Amino acid sequence: MLRETSSRRRMAKAAAAVLVVAGLLLSSSPSPAAAAGRGGELRMKHSDGGYSYNRTLAHILVQYASAVYTSDLTSLFTWTCPRCQGDTKGFEMIVIIVDVENCLQAFVGVAPDPQSIIIAFRGTQEHSVSNWIEDLFWKQLDVTYPGMPDAMVHHGFYSAYYNTTVRREILKAVRWARKTYGRLPINVVGHSMGGALASFCALDLSVKYGSQEVQLMTFGQPRVGNPAFAAYFSDQVPRTIRVTHQNDIVPHLPPYFCYLGEWTYHHFAREVWLHETIVGNVVTKNETICDGSGEDPTCSRSVYGRSVADHLEYYGVSLHADSRGTCQFVIGSTNTAYSSILEVDRTIILARYPQEWQSVESI
Ligand SMILES: *[C@@H]1O[C@H](CO)[C@@H](O)[C@H](O)[C@H]1NC(C)=O
Ligand SMILES: *[C@@H]1O[C@H](CO)[C@@H](O)[C@H](O)[C@H]1NC(C)=O
Ligand SMILES: *[C@@H]1O[C@H](CO)[C@@H](O)[C@H](O)[C@H]1NC(C)=O
């Protein structure tokens, strides 16, 4: 479903090209001054109620966003994989979900610090990250977000979360975790495409459990919806940090054109932009906490987004697949860590809870 047919895509590209040309004519430079003066703020309001960026937390959560790329599901489940070390020690996996058909991977587990339920989504596994990025340029705002007449999102991102087995399994795991471990808060994380899915998941859980229970942190995520969606999102998921890195290209896509009103993509707040500041000969790592608009012109928008390398590393942690090829995964034969392995609708589910729980209705 993430793959459109080529003719549809060509049509979409042609249509989008017109918009892009118009957009380029009107706003060809990322100049902070120009952008700041014109509608960059739209009608976003500061609704994060004092929620602030915690660097220590970011350094921990990025490791979960990295670990979810592990294709050896046994070592991921037992939390013995090379990326399952360090600050994430003591993490207990509850479920790993691999949607083979749509090439998605996510997990849910419980962490000792921050003591919470952690939900992590993997980014795209398609053979070429560059192809995926190129495609991002042409994504249309083609779905109205349910219950929000003006809020538009991209169908592919939306349905990757809402219209796959992933959502049902995540809700089930969260319910089991809160029943078993107590009413823990929930941290949702994801990188790249996984950041887009994480956003929808955090929104879903906020509506279900209350926005004080859910925190979202994404790394190098693309834009997912229009200004109305971004405003709605900020109200519902105020505890959101959207980390961007230097010249990472993905946060620049699909493009934002402030002149297109509700017909443009628009990020939600709050961005934290990791970049280097050079003063004289000294290079300093800088983390800029951006404004509440979602499209702060002094953050990543102040530079051209053209780096794939910057996309694949955050806080010095690698965020990409550990093996070549698409959607590969390996399950070892010798282990007892998971109580059940199930295949439902071309989705592999490894779970700590017993088979009986699998059939429990989740909503
Ligand atoms: C930041 O997060 C770390 C890790 O969860 C936590 O130990 C620390 O108390 C937090 N700091 C603040 C100021 O909330
Ligand atoms: C959901 O997925 C099914 C099958 O995968 C498809 O037929 C249906 O059109 C999808 N619905 C939406 C809203 O994307
Ligand atoms: C960090 O970057 C911001 C711009 O995003 C700049 O205003 C600030 O001076 C920089 N801080 C340092 C210590 O270089």
Give residue-wise pLDDT tens across range 90-142. Answer: 999 999 999 888 888 999 999 999 999 999 999 876 667 777 888 888 888 98
Q: Please identify, by atom number, the ligand 3 atom nearest to the C-alpha of residue 302.
A: 5
111 in helix, strand or coil?
A: strand
What pLDDT sits at residue 355? 67
Q: Do 12 and 3 meet the contact criterion of CB atoms below 8 Å apart?
A: no
Q: How far away, in angstroms, is 119 Cα from ligand 3 center?
A: 32
Strand 347-351 with 340-344, pairing: antiparallel
Q: Please identify, by atom number, the ligand 2 atom nearest to the C-alpha of residue 1.
A: 5
Segment 141-156 mean pLDDT? 91
Segment 7-33 mean pLDDT? 38
Query: Which residue type occupies 236?
Result: Q
Q: How many CB atoms lie within 10 A of CB 150?
A: 13
Segment 11-16 mean pLDDT? 42
Query: From atom 11 of ligand 1, which residue's Cα is the shortest distance away?
Result: 54
Which among 271, 288, 299 is the best mutation to test ligand 3's pocket, defined by most ligand atoms within 8 Å of the CB?
288
Contact 159 CB / ligand 2 (< 6 Å): yes
The token pair at 184 is 């823990």
Contact 180 CB / ligand 3 (< 6 Å): no
Cα–Cα distance measured from residue 1 to residue 50, given in angstroms and rounded to the nearest whole number? 39
What pLDDT sits at residue 48? 53
> Which ligand is located closest to the Cα atom of residue 286?
3
Cα–Cα distance measured from residue 147 to residue 32, given in angstroms and rounded to the nearest whole number? 35
Q: How far away, in angstroms, is 302 Cα from ligand 3 center?
A: 12
Picking from 120, 114, 46, the residue whose alpha carbon sits closest to that of residue 270 is 46
Segment 7-11 mean pLDDT? 43
Q: How many CB atoms lie within 10 A of CB 207?
A: 13
Query: Which residue type occupies 193?
Result: M
Question: What pTM did the predictor assign?
Answer: 0.86
Is pLDDT at 72 greater than 70 in this prediction? yes
Domain-by-domain residue ranges, the chain? 6-358
Is pLDDT at 83 greater than 60 in this prediction? yes
Contact 289 CB / ligand 3 (< 6 Å): no
Q: Do 207 and 186 meet the contact criterion of CB atoms below 8 Å apart?
A: no
Is pLDDT at 245 greater than 60 in this prediction? yes
Q: What percent of the chain has pLDDT over 90?
A: 61
Tell the residue number behind the tokens 């941290």, with chain if given: 187
Q: Do 330 and 78 meet the contact criterion of CB atoms below 8 Å apart?
A: no
Q: Is 220 left (phi over 0), alpha (psi -120 to 50) or beta?
A: left
110 in helix, strand or coil?
A: strand
What pLDDT sits at residue 324? 60
Contacts of 247 (CB under 8 A, 6+ apart): 300, 303, 304, 305, 306, 307, 310
Find the distance separating the first CA and the last CA of the chain, reported in whole Å.
24
pLDDT digits (tens, 9 = 90+) for 175-230: 999 999 999 999 999 999 999 999 999 999 999 999 999 999 999 999 999 999 99
Cα–Cα distance measured from residue 346 to residue 285, given in angstroms and rounded to the nearest whole number? 44
Is pLDDT at 250 greater than 50 in this prediction? yes
Contact 282 CB / ligand 3 (< 6 Å): no
**Structural class in CATH, domain 6-358:** alpha beta
Least confident of 36-45, 129-138, 180-189, 297-306: 36-45
Cα–Cα distance measured from residue 76 to residue 82, given in angstroms and rounded to the nearest whole number? 9
